[in-house]
Structure 1
Amino acid sequence: MSQPERKLVSFPGAAAVRGQRDPRIDAFRGAALVMILIDHIPGNPYEALTLRNFGFSDAAEAFFVMSGVAAGIAYSGRMERWTNGEGSLREAVTPIWHRAWVLYLVQMVMTVVVLAMFAMAANVFLRPELLQMHNISRIFDQTGAALTGLAALSYHIGYVNILPTYIVLLLLAPLAIRAGLRAPWPTLAVSACIWFVGGWLRLNVPNYPGGGGWFFSPFTWQFIFVLGLTIGIRHRRGERLVPVNRPLFLVAAGFLVLVLAWKFIPPFGVWMNNKMWLLGKLGAPANIVTHDKPFLAFPRLIHAVALVYVVSCLPQLRDWCAHRLAAPLRMLGRQGLAVFAWGSVLALGCQILLKVEPGSALLPWLLPPLAVLAIFGVAAVHERNRTAKRTAATPPARTTGGLVARA
C-alpha cells in the first residue's frame, strides 16, 4: 500500500490520507469555541451541556490541544525542511512568531474593548460595581502600572486571559517542533517533567499589578500544547502519534466512564474525593490530588488526554465531522481566532446585561443563543472574505483554441 493511502488506525473505516484536511480538527475546535462562549456567560442554563459537566477537563484543554495540533500541522513542514537543509531557519520561524504577534495585537484590542464596555456600562446604567468585576478596577486605580502590565501581558482581565499563555507557547514552539520532529517521545517526557515540577512548585508568570500569577500557568499548560504539537507533526506525515490499541482504548474509555461515575454518583464521588484527600495527606503534591485549573492538575490532564485518544480512535467521528451538517462547526474552527476574540467580547457583554438585569428570567435563555448566532455570522464574513482573496489571487483563465487553460 502506498504511503498516502496507508491506514492509520486499525478500527474499520478509520483511515486518514496524508495531505488531506482532517475535518475533525476544525469541527472539534469549532465546538470548543462554542463551549468557551457559553461557559463565559455564567448562570445560563446551557452551561449544563458543556464538556466541563461530564469530566474534569473543559473547553480550555480542548482549545490548547487543538491549537497545538493545528500549529504542528501548519508549521512543522518548514521546520522539517530547514532541518533537512532545504530552507532557512528564518523561513521556518517567521510564520510562527508572526502568528504570536497577531495574537498579541488581538489580546491588546480585546482588553481595551472590554475595558471600554464595562466603563461605559457603569456610567450609562449607574452601576459602579461593574468596575469591580474581573480585575477591571486596577486600570482606574493604578492606571500607569496597569497600562505597563497590559503591554507586557502581565495585566489580565477575567475571561480575557487565555491568549497570553498561548502567545508564550507559540514563541517557544520552534524549539518544541524541532525537538518533536527528531524525538517526539523524549520531547513529551521533558514536557511532562516541566509540567510536574511547575505544578509541584507552583511556578507561574507573575501578574503586574496586583500580584498572583497567570490563570493559565505556561509551565504546566505547555504540556497539553506540546502534546497537540507532536500529534500535529505526525498527522501532517499521515501517521499517528499513538497507534490504535484496543486494550489501551478500553483503558482510556473506562477512565472516562469512571469520571462520569465520579461526577454523577454522589456516594462514589465522595468516596473518591476522600481517597484523593488521603493521598494528599500522605504527601502527594497538590497538582496530583486536586483539580486546580491554573496549574492543570493531574485529574484534568489525564481526563483530557484520555478523551483525545478515545476521540481519535473512533472512525465514525471523522465521518460525522465531514458531514454537511457539521459544516458550520468546521467554519467556526477555520476562523478560530476571529471567533474566539468576538466570542470573548460578546460573552462579557452578556455578563454586563445579566448584571444590569439580574432578575430577568428571559435573558439567561436568550443571550447565549444570540451570541452563538453572532459568532457564526463573524465566521461566515471572514470565510467569505478569505474566499474572495483566494479568488482574486488565482490567475485568470485564458482561452487557447477554444479550450480553457490556467495561466
Structure 2
Amino acid sequence: MSFALETLTVPAAIQTDSAKSLAIPARVRDPRLDVVRGIALFIIFIAHVPSNWLWSVIPARFGLSDATDSFVFISGIASAIAFGGTFLRHGFWTGAGRIAYRCAQLGVAHLFLLFAIIAVAYQGSVWTGRDLVGALGVGHLLASPAQAIFEAFWLHWVPASLDIMPVYIVLLAMVPGMMLLEKLDRRLPLVVSLALYLANAAYGLDPIADSSTGRHWLLNPFAWQVIFFLGFAFKRGWLPVPPRSATLTVLAWGMVAVGVIYRVLPDGLGLGDAALWHALGGQLDKTNLDPFRLAHFLATAYLLHGLLIARPGIAKARILRPFEHLGQQGLSVFVGGMIVANVAGLIILKVGDGPLGQIIINLGGFLTLYGIARVMGWYKSAPWSGKKA
C-alpha cells in the first residue's frame, strides 16, 4: 500500500546567477514517478478485488514486499517535492499550514471513501441477499454509530483495509517536525525516524483501529514512517542515492531471489534448512514493516532505479502513458479504485469469477480508473478560467 497525492515535479536546471538565486525555479513533471505510482495504484486495485485471477501474478506473489511499499516510498519522494520547498521559501508556519490543509483534504476523502464503501455494501446486500455490510467489519458503527463517527474523525476508528489514507495523514503530520530537525542537522530526521522504527519494534506503538475490539491498524504508521522518510530523505538530500555498482546490484538480485524462492518454491526445494524458510515467513510482518520486507523493497527499488537511469525512455513509452495519467491523479484514482474494487466484487457475485467476469472487472476497472484520472486532470486544468474560444 502512494501515497504521494500531490503533483510530482522535479526542479529544472538550477539558476546560478546570484541575481536570480532567490527565484522559484520552473518545475516539470517526472514521468518515472507518475508511471510507477500509477502501476502501484492499479495493483492495489487488483489486490482489493475478491477472486481476481490477476491477484496471483502481482509482484507480492513473487517477493517479500508489494505495491504498498512502493506507494508509501514514492509518497515520501513526492511529499518532499510538493511540501519541502514551501518550508524553505515561505517559512515553517506557512509550510506547516499547507501540511495541515492537505491533511484535512485527505481526512475528508477518507470519510467519503469509508461511507461510500458502506453504501456500496448495503446496496450489494439488497441485490445479493448476503450480509455484505457485516463482512466489512463495521460492527462498531452499527452498534454505536455516534461514537464510531466521532472516532472516525480522529482516526481512532479505522475499518480493516481502509487505513492506507489514515497512515498517509499521520506521516504527513510528521513532516513539519522533521523539517525543524533538518534546520539543526540534516542527519537528525533520519536518526529520529530510525529511532521511532526501533522503538515501535521494542515497545509496540501501533495505534488502536477499533476501540470496541482492541484491533490495531493494519499498517502501523510508526513503523511505515521509516520507508516514507527514506523517500523523503533521498529527495531532500538528507541521504545520498546509492551509486550504481556491481556489488550492490549482486546483493539486490540476491535479495530478490530470496523473495522468489520463498514465495514460489515450497520450503525452498531443499535450498537450505526448511526451518529457516518457515522462520523467514514468521518474520514477514506487514503491519510493522519487518526488516526483511524493508530490505527486499529497497533491493527492488535500487534495481528499478538503475533500470530507469540506464533507459530513461522506458517511462515515456506510449504503452505506459495511461499509468502516467493514473499516477498524476493519485488521490482521486485511489479513492475511485477502492470504490470500483468493491463494485467489482458485486459483479463477481452476480456473473461469477469465470473468464467473462475477469474481463469485466479488470479491463472495465482499469478503464474506469483511467477515466477518473482524465476527468480529474480536466477539472484541475480549470479550462473555464481561460479566455473564451
- TM class by smaller structure: 0.7 to 0.9
Counterpart residue number, 2:288:
295
Does residue 1:385 correspond to 2:387, yes or no?
no
TM-score, normalization by structure 2 = 0.85
Does residue 1:162 correspond to 2:202, yes or no?
no
Alignment partners' CA distance in 2, 1:325 and 1:357? 30
Alignment partners' CA distance in 1, 2:305 and 2:180? 24
- Higher mean C-alpha deviation, range 354-363 or range 137-146: 354-363
CA contact (8 A) 1:255 1:306 kept: yes
Alignment partners' CA distance in 2, 1:154 and 1:243? 42
Tell me the percent identity: 24
Alignment partners' CA distance in 1, 2:116 and 2:207? 24
Counterpart residue number, 2:121:
118
How far 1:297 moved relative to its partner? 1.2
How far 1:186 moved relative to its partner? 4.2
CA contact (8 A) 1:57 1:300 kept: yes
Counterpart residue number, 2:276:
275
How far 1:240 moved relative to its partner? 4.7
Counterpart residue number, 2:87:
79
Counterpart residue number, 2:150:
148
CA contact (8 A) 2:160 2:217 kept: no
Alignment partners' CA distance in 2, 1:38 and 1:272? 34
Counterpart residue number, 1:134:
136
Alignment partners' CA distance in 1, 2:350 and 2:148? 26
Alignment partners' CA distance in 2, 1:317 and 1:21? 18
Alignment-mate amino acid for residue 292 of structure 1:
D
Alignment partners' CA distance in 1, 2:26 and 2:266? 46
Alignment partners' CA distance in 2, 1:203 and 1:23? 36
CA contact (8 A) 1:347 1:371 kept: yes
Q: How does 1:235-384 map to 2 (within 5 A)?
A: 240-268=240-268, 271=272, 274-275=275-276, 290-314=283-307, 315-355=309-349, 362-384=356-378
TM-score, normalization by structure 1 = 0.81
CA contact (8 A) 1:199 1:297 kept: no
Q: How many residues align?
A: 365
Alignment partners' CA distance in 2, 1:310 and 1:364? 32
CA contact (8 A) 2:340 2:365 kept: yes
SS, match of residue 362 in structure 1: helix
Alignment partners' CA distance in 1, 2:237 and 2:305? 13
Against the structure 1 CA distance between its residues 179 and 307, is the aligned structure 2 distance closer, same or farther, given a 3 Å change threshold? Answer: farther
CA contact (8 A) 1:252 1:307 kept: yes
SS, match of residue 237 in structure 2: helix
1:232 aligned residue (220, 229, 235):
235
How far 1:273 moved relative to its partner? 5.8
Counterpart residue number, 2:6:
none
Alignment-mate amino acid for residue 47 of structure 2:
D
CA contact (8 A) 1:290 1:297 kept: yes
How far 1:361 moved relative to its partner? 5.6
Alignment partners' CA distance in 2, 1:316 and 1:272? 38
Per-residue CA distance 1:320-352 (angstroms, 9 max, x = gap): 002233221111111010000000111112223
SS, match of residue 320 in structure 2: helix
Does residue 1:220 correspond to 2:223, yes or no?
yes
Counterpart residue number, 1:202:
204
Alignment partners' CA distance in 1, 2:177 and 2:147? 32
Structure 2 residues without counterparts, runs of 5 or longer: 1-11, 15-24
- Higher mean C-alpha deviation, range 263-272 or range 95-104: 263-272
Alignment-mate amino acid for residue 245 of structure 2:
N
CA contact (8 A) 2:128 2:349 kept: no
Structure 1 residues without counterparts, runs of 5 or longer: 6-16, 82-86, 280-287, 397-407
CA contact (8 A) 1:121 1:130 kept: yes
Against the structure 1 CA distance between its residues 215 and 269, is the aligned structure 2 distance closer, same or farther, given a 3 Å change threshold? Answer: farther
Q: CA RMSD in A?
A: 2.9
CA contact (8 A) 1:65 1:228 kept: yes
How far 1:318 moved relative to its partner? 2.7
Per-residue CA distance 1:13-72 (angstroms, 9 max, x = gap): xxxx99553221100000000000001113211112212012111111111001111001
Alignment partners' CA distance in 2, 1:249 and 1:178? 35
Does residue 1:101 correspond to 2:104, yes or no?
yes
Counterpart residue number, 1:62:
70
- Higher mean C-alpha deviation, range 96-105 or range 182-191: 182-191
- Higher mean C-alpha deviation, range 166-175 or range 254-263: 254-263
CA contact (8 A) 1:176 1:187 kept: yes
